[in-house]
Amino acid sequence: MAATLQNDRFLRALLREPVDRTPLWMMRQAGRYLPEYRATRAEAGSFMGLCTNPELACEVTMQPLRRYDMDAAILFSDILTIPDAMGLGLYFSEGEGPRFERPLTSDAEISALEPERCRDELRYVMDAVALIRSELNGKVPLIGFSGSPWTLATYMIEGGSSKDFAKTKALAFDNPASMHLLLEKLADAVAVYLTTQVEHGAQALQIFDTWGGALGHRDYEEFSLQYMRAVVERLPREADGRRVPIIVFTKGGGQWIERIADCGADAVGLDWTTDLAKARAQVGDRVALQGNMDPAMLHASPERIRREVASVLASFGHGTGHVFNLGHGITPGIDPACVAAMVDAVIELSPAYHSA
């Protein structure tokens, strides 16, 4: 029997229900900017060692909550666990980010992919979800997550990060049948992966479409948005008698916000290039919005950070439907005291936007 949730303002804001103040969490809040994270990672030996060890993954998930009054925890994992489970061989090389030992190079390799392998291979993720949920003991809700089908596809085809996604786009443009087969398989895998996370205790879900913004405005619908919609349609929307809100975040998707707002998700994540006030006017009461302070602002002084928080809050304005967050993940070099300045500012300044 799950512990009673003591702080539900994150879930409430995502469903545009009244809250006492704007909830906040931070993308990559369990991360390298924290010395205790670096210590645990050293103990794990490697990044994947950390991801695949439920106890250590639980430990780093809890770390930011001990320092800051975050309104949600997010599963510590990587967006590339699904392709790894499909046999591509994920590894991390210093300075280069994630890489795959066996990137996809042919139609035959795409046809041979088995989405159902994710169920067994990713048990370590589900063990971490269950352990974190238990460890949270109702303090705040737990967010589960996955990469979007398109974002996963880019890494699987390029073999790692890319500047221009030449191979992925060449496949999409010249061999769309094969690309759509890959994206369908990934949508299957993502839907199963997120559903299983909910079954193990995730109380909200976020789909990270990190590279959707690299697509042209027509191609975004065809290769990214339609597959996120397919995933959202197949997700459980309730657990423990409570709605499980879904957040879709396309970095660089500000121009397409109205289309994203119609994909079936409860909330849309925004990066810092988008004007929250304008976005709110565009989406109306269809979805909540999450974001969107420039992560680079955390390099500034606490006073400057406080002014920026004030500006982001004012931009969204009065009423519920806003989850404060960065516009992308926090970067490794940030001073934890600067995060504290941001958190304090949200807690102190946001109640004024929720008074009756």
Site for its own copies, rule CB under 8 A: 164-166, 169-170, 173-174, 213, 215-220, 252, 254-255, 272-275, 294-297, 299-301, 304, 308, 311, 327, 331, 333
Whole-angstrom distance, CA of residue 277 vs CA of residue 284: 11
Residue closer to its own copies by CB (options 8, 308) is 308
Residues composing the chain: 356
Positions annotated as catalytic residues are 28, 32, 41, 78, 155
Residue closer to its own copies by CB (options 139, 167) is 167
Nearest distance, CB of residue 216 and its own copies, angstroms: 4
Nearest distance, CB of residue 274 and its own copies, angstroms: 6
Which conformational region is residue 194 in: left (phi greater than 0), alpha (psi within -120 to 50 degrees), or beta?
Answer: alpha
Nearest distance, CB of residue 36 and its own copies, angstroms: 22
Residue closer to its own copies by CB (options 7, 282) is 282
Residue closer to its own copies by CB (options 111, 255) is 255
- The 3-state DSSP class for residue 91 equals strand
Whole-angstrom distance, CA of residue 310 vs CA of residue 350: 8
- Please report which residue ranges of 200-335 form alpha helices under DSSP H: 217-219, 226-233, 257-261, 276-283, 302-316
- Please report which residue ranges of the chain form alpha helices under DSSP H: 9-14, 35-44, 47-51, 54-67, 81-83, 107-112, 117-121, 123-136, 149-158, 166-174, 176-199, 217-219, 226-233, 257-261, 276-283, 302-316, 336-349
Nearest distance, CB of residue 121 and its own copies, angstroms: 31
Nearest distance, CB of residue 24 and its own copies, angstroms: 18
Nearest distance, CB of residue 199 and its own copies, angstroms: 36
* Token representation of residue 320: 């519920």
Contact 228, 149 (CB under 8 A): yes
Q: How far is CA 269 from CA 69, 198, 200, 250, 325, in A?
A: 21, 20, 24, 7, 9
Residue closer to its own copies by CB (options 94, 174) is 174
Whole-angstrom distance, CA of residue 292 vs CA of residue 280: 12
Handedness of CA 157, 257, 277, 243 (dihedral sign): negative
Residue closer to its own copies by CB (options 216, 284) is 216
